[in-house]
Amino acid sequence: MSEREKILGRIREALKVSAPLPGSHGDTSAVHTAAESPASHAREWLPSVGASEAEQFALFAKNAADLKADFQLFASRDDLKAALTKLRDAEKWSRVASHGGELADLACKALGLPVTITDRGYDVQEMEKCDAGITECDALIAQTGGVVVTSRSAGGRALSVLPPHHVVIARREQLVADLPAAFAMLQQKYADNYPSMISFITGPSRTGDIERILVLGAHGPKKLTVLCF
């Protein structure tokens, strides 16, 4: 018998005796109705988000600021391009890494710098020397102030963590209210062909491992900038 069968056998043997439901005070006769997930009402318990788009953008901005991420919302793509070049000059970028995509292309063109494109494989050492990683995303989440990226929408796995500054270019319509909405969106978008990596990024990389004092840029980016129009 394989270890798989042995382990599954032990599990099945153990589960012949039923365990009390949480909160039933030892009463094993209470039966769980698995008709819907116990977590399906999560929206009613998680931190509240406003109803209107304006409220949700305000919440996203507040949460992002708490996380020490930089969020800027623009009226037009030209304003976004201007902000990006300002960022380039302020931080003296000389090379960036990015991927193919309408918004990423727009950003790279505006920057006018040498770009390491990840789509068809790339040199890791070269990416490590880039000043910023520029990616698109799948969603902005008002409830957390974070973004969702995937290996398909954001140029692979390393692009959003290896360079010291992660810049996300997003459209206004990509804002979702809360975490349940983000998961529903991912399920709808990718159905049965999920990207091999889906990452909820909530602020720049951080650690508190030394005396619980917050330090940004532990291993991933020290800065996270979200530019949205």
Partner 1 sequence: MSFVSQFKFLASEKTRDLRHRSVIRTALRSYEVVRDKRKAAFQSWESARQAAAETKWEAINHLDEHLVALTAKLEARGTKVHWASTGAQAREIIAQILRDKKARCIIKSKAMTSEEIHLNDALEKEGFTVVESDLGEFIVQLRHEPPYHIVFPSMHLTRGEIKDLFQKELGDAPSDSPEELTMVARRVMRQKYITADVGFTGGNFAIAETGMISITENEGNARLTAALPKTMITLMGIEKVLPRFSDLALFLPMLATAGAGQPMTCYNTMYSGPRQPGESDGPEEWHVVLLDNRRTELLADAEQRDSLHCIRCGACLNVCPIFRNVGGHTYGTTYSGPVGAVITPHLRGLQEWKHLSNASSLCGACTEACPVKIDLHHHLLQNRRNASAGQPSFFEKLAYMIFGIVANEPAFWSLAKKIGWLTQPLQRAVKGSALDPAKAWTKTRDLPPQPLESFKDWWRNRK
Choose the stretch contacting partner 1; rule: CB under 8 A; options: 38-46, 50-58, 73-81, 104-112: 38-46
Token digits for 169?
């270019």
Q: Which stretch binds partner 1 (CB under 8 A): 79-87, 101-109, 168-176, 192-200?
A: 192-200
7 lies in the binding site for partner 1 (CB under 8 A): yes
Q: Which of 81, 99, 165, 223 binds partner 1 (CB under 8 A)?
A: 99
Residues 44-83 that bind partner 1 (CB under 8 A): 44-48, 63, 66
Nearer to partner 1, 83 or 161 (CB): 161
Task: Tell me the C-alpha distance between 210 and 206, whole Å.
Answer: 11
Q: Which of 74, 113, 171, 183 binds partner 1 (CB under 8 A)?
A: 183
Distance, in Å, from the CA atom of 56 to the CA atom of 52, rounded to the nearest integer, reads 6
DSSP E strand boundaries for 95-180? 96-98, 115-117, 132-135, 139-141, 146-150, 165-170, 175-176
Residue 75, sorted as left (phi over 0), alpha (psi -120 to 50) or beta, turns out to be alpha
Under a CB-based contact definition with an 8 Å cutoff, are residues 148 and 180 in contact? Answer: no
Show contacts with partner 1 in window 124-163 (CB under 8 A): 124-125, 128, 144-146, 151-152, 155-162
Nearer to partner 1, 162 or 170 (CB): 162
Among 76, 89, 92, 121, binds partner 1 (CB under 8 A): 121
Question: CB under 8 Å to 28, separation ≥6 — which residues?
Answer: 18, 19, 20
Torsion of CA 159, 80, 61, 164, to 10 degrees: 30
Determine the size of the site formed for partner 1 (CB under 8 A). Answer: 91
Q: Which of 203, 223, 226, 229 binds partner 1 (CB under 8 A)?
A: 203
Orientation of helix 77-90 relative to helix 102-111, angle to 10°: 50
User: What's the min distance (Å) between Cβ of 165 and partner 1?
Assistant: 13
